[in-house]
Amino acid sequence: MSQTYIELLRRALDEELSLDPAVHLLGEDVAAGGAFGVTKGLAQKHGARRVRNTPISEAAIAGLATGAALCGLRPVLEIMFIDFATLALDCLVNQSAKYRYMSGGQLAVPMVVRTQAGAAGGAAAQHSQSLESWFIHVPGLVVVAPSSPVEAYGLLKRSIRLGDPVLFIEHKRLYALREELPANLPLPDIGRARVARAGCDVTVITYSAMVGSALEAADIVAGQGLSAEVIDLRTLTPLDMQTVAASVMKTHRVVIAHEAVRNGGVGAEIAARLAGELFDELDAPITRVGCRFAPIPFAPELERAVLPGTADIVRAVQAACA
Amino acid sequence: MRAVIDTGDPGLEEWKRLFGQLWRIRAFEGQVQTLAAAGEVPGFAHLSTGQEAVAVGVCAHLGREDALFTSHRGHGHVLAKGSDARAMLAEIIGRSTGLCQGHGGSMHLVDAPNGVLGATGVVGGNLPLAAGAAWAAQARGKAAISVVFFGDGATGAGIFHETVNLSVLWQLPVLFVCENNGYAEFTSREEHSTVGSVRAFADPYGMAAATVDGNDLPAVFEAAREATARVRSGAGPYLLECMTHRMAGHYVGDAQHYRSREELAAVTAKCPIERMKRRLLGLAVAREELDAIGEAAIREMAQAVADARAGAPADPRMALCHVYGAPALQANPGAGE
Ligand SMILES: Cc1ncc(C[n+]2csc(CCOP(=O)(O)OP(=O)(O)O)c2C)c(N)n1
Ligand SMILES: [Mg+2]
């Protein structure tokens, strides 16, 4: 039986709540299921003390979760849109990320901040952003961006058990996607990328919803005789450069694709590392596919005009292999 | 003393011990000042000189299992909670023998086994952490409470109001102790808020609160006894506003041009140690005995500095330790750099 991204996230939360009494969910509307229904039914099953609604106080609830994590809970905090993580940024950057370090290893923050990002259907400038690169800039944070329902399930379970603060970025365009959870699937390791499709002519490095676009692009270019390998990074910190490098040493051509703008993005980081470490392996310039440098617009025609998609990846792959 | 305190008088010997605690903080901060002036303290050093009675009066009611959070001006609180002065000083001068192996410093003292869960350099940032620790205690059925010290300036931050609202809503066992010293850095209270009393912020949220003379040790002791008992009983959070005065600058090196000579003289006249000394003299404790208590504290802290200085310098090989806990992350070059 296939399940949606939302259902598999819920299943992961449900299972972890059952397994570990330290796990608690909190956030705006989570007891009522949350804005997207991810936590629906969990308060009924696990009790209102473990699945708790909060006021609209992103700064304080991030701090609350962090303080609780210092004292033996494993909080899973939902920040409804990554756009509102701005209000929790002080805590995430200055407290959660640094507590283990500042305390010389005496304390830890085993906390997951679940949030969702990305553009879908006219949510416009303040509900559509992809802000992950802000967080990869902060030592101490782990940043996870799952690309499929099954990936989301495994990575969320791993994140909850990890012991370090994790920003877990879901993508609203993936929420309705369906997949069957294979029996006895080993949980993915945090920090290990995945080869989503093997190929030999070009490596497309991507994550989150753009993995789907990259797989579509790989299908299209296959018809033109080009074999694209698609790497799903899964985690943006840590970056699994080993898996990336192994692929690049095979293909010698690189396209990096993400929905976020290119400026200062994850792709810039990867490109810089590849240029520094594998310069001699590259047979073509590294190209990046990303959002045009504008706020996400409202009207569908405008939204389409700035967002990157399958066609952009196809063009980038063709150029890299030309 | 009985005239001051009706209930819970800890007895003369305990008052003398607490008097000694005031002196220990005073002497500790004196040493930090000297070290900072000599260039031995990296970064900023904010002294709690003049505010000792708040730390001592509140921490007298805390056990090791109670969580304490403090601010940039936190040395006194950490010492009063019972942390080791040598390990604190070693941290403040950046030694590997410091509480945090030199990773934290003056503004980030942590002594987890003693329940000191951290000082913070972000004004107001400690408030929700304390509420979170209280939530964890509540959720895990522990009797511990959580206490957070902060300045009057922190009430200008939205997070103060968010945290108070949340703490009352969830009936968290957290005690908010505001050290109202009338200043946020160089800006007076009148200049940074139209709300005269910090205590007043409790009212709209329905939080129990009191204001007390923070330079009067028995008064703080009694108010904190009541406040901690109430929080421990499960009656929800409490705000204790302690009116006090900074006898030193905002940080070591602050020339305090924004304060008049008269103001500084008036502050010195309100010294909590002198006040407590007069009280104890009034209870027929010999002047020599009180002087000896002060001298012992001064000697202790001089020795603590010597011990701290003897510690090995911070080890550069440790600079990348403690960024992550999970071994897989530490080993991954993508995480480290
Ligand atoms: C969020 C933030 N803004 C500004 C500062 C710089 N700063 C450090 S202490 C301080 C004043 C704090 O005043 P108060 O809370 O009354 O504490 P006090 O220094 O009087 O003990 C300021 C503005 C800071 N550390 N954090
Ligand atoms: Mg102040």
pLDDT band at B329 (very low <50, low <70, confident <90, very high): confident
Query: Is the pLDDT score of B24 beyond 50?
Result: yes
* Domain-located, residue B336: no
Query: Is the pLDDT score of B311 beyond 60?
Result: yes
pLDDT band at B328 (very low <50, low <70, confident <90, very high): confident
Query: Is the pLDDT score of B332 beyond 70?
Result: no
- Among B110, B169, B335, the residue with its CB nearest the CB of A237 is B335
Find chain A residues with C-beta within 8 A of B139's C-beta: 24, 49-50, 68, 73
* Domain-located, residue B286: yes
Contacts 24+ apart (CB under 8 A), B259-264: none
User: Which stretches in chain A have pLDDT values below 70?
Assistant: none
* Domain-located, residue B337: no
Question: How far does the centroid of ligand 2 lie from the alpha carbon of residue A81, in Å?
Answer: 35
pLDDT the model gives residue B336: 41
- Among A67, A71, A190, the residue with its CB nearest the CB of B326 is A190
DSSP conformational letter for B314:
P
Rounded distance between C-alpha atoms, residue B215 and residue B54, angstroms? 7
Q: Which residues of B138-174 are buried (b: 16+ CB within 10 A; e: fewer)?
A: bbeebebbbbbbbbbbbbbbebbbbbbbbbbbbebbb
* Domain-located, residue B203: yes
Ligand nearest to the CA of B70: 1
pLDDT band at B335 (very low <50, low <70, confident <90, very high): low
What range defines the domain where residue B82 resides? Answer: 12-311
CATH number at residue B74: 3.40.50.970
Q: Which amino acid type is present at position A71?
A: C
pLDDT the model gives residue B3: 40
Distance from CA of A14 to the nearest CA of B (A): 18
Give per-residue pLDDT as tens, A121-178.
899 999 999 999 999 999 999 999 999 999 999 999 999 999 999 999 999 999 999 9
| Closest-CA residue to B133 (of B150, B121, B116, B120) | B116
Whether A189 contacts chain B with CB within 8 A = yes
Distance from CA of B334 to the nearest CA of A (A): 5
Query: Is the pLDDT score of B112 beyond 90?
Result: yes
Domains in chain B: how many in total?
Answer: 1
Give per-residue pLDDT as tens, B209-228.
999 999 999 999 999 999 99
* pTM, entire model: 0.97
pLDDT band at B330 (very low <50, low <70, confident <90, very high): confident
Ligand nearest to the CA of A91: 1
Rounded distance between C-alpha atoms, residue A298 and residue B301, angstroms? 64
pLDDT band at B327 (very low <50, low <70, confident <90, very high): confident
Rounded distance between C-alpha atoms, residue B243 and residue A280, angstroms? 67
Rounded distance between C-alpha atoms, residue B168 and residue A159, angstroms? 31
pLDDT band at B280 (very low <50, low <70, confident <90, very high): very high
Distance from CA of B221 to the nearest CA of A (A): 27
Q: Which amino acid type is present at position A49?
A: R
Ion ligand 2 neighbours (CB, 5 A) are B 151-153, 181, 183
Rounded distance between C-alpha atoms, residue A41 and residue A33, angstroms? 7
Q: What is the DSSP string of A161-183?
A: HHSS-EEEEEEGGGTT-EEE--T
pLDDT band at B7 (very low <50, low <70, confident <90, very high): low
Whether B103 contacts chain A with CB within 8 A = yes
B218 lines ligand 1 (CB under 6 A): no
* Domain-located, residue B323: no
Find chain A residues with C-beta within 8 A of B335's C-beta: 142, 191, 237-239
Ligand nearest to the CA of B48: 1
Rounded distance between C-alpha atoms, residue A282 and residue B44, angstroms? 48
Atom 17, ligand 1: which residue's CA is nearest? B151
Find chain B residues with C-beta within 8 A of A237's C-beta: 334-335
DSSP conformational letter for A91:
I
* Domain-located, residue B2: no
Task: Give the ranges where chain B is alpha helix by DSSP (H).
Answer: 12-37, 52-59, 75-80, 85-92, 126-139, 158-169, 189-192, 217-232, 261-269, 272-282, 287-310, 327-331, 333-336
Rounded distance between C-alpha atoms, residue B36 and residue B248, angstroms? 13
Q: Which residues of A, range 58-117, sit inside 8 Å of B by Cβ? A: 59-73, 75, 90-91, 94-95, 99-108
pLDDT the model gives residue B71: 98
Mutate to test the interface with B, among A17, A76, A106 (most CBs of B within 10 A): A106
Atom 12, ligand 1: which residue's CA is nearest? B184
**Helix B272-282 vs helix B287-310: crossing angle, to nearest 10:** 140
Q: What is the DSSP string of A135-166?
A: HHTSTT-EEE---SHHHHHHHHHHHHHHSS-E
Q: Which amino acid type is present at position A205?
A: I
Structural domains of chain A, ranges and CATH numbers in brackets = 2-180 (3.40.50.970), 194-321 (3.40.50.920)
* Domain-located, residue B67: yes
pLDDT band at B1 (very low <50, low <70, confident <90, very high): very low
B154 lines ligand 1 (CB under 6 A): yes
* Domain-located, residue B328: no
Which residue of chain A has the CA closest to B69? Answer: A67
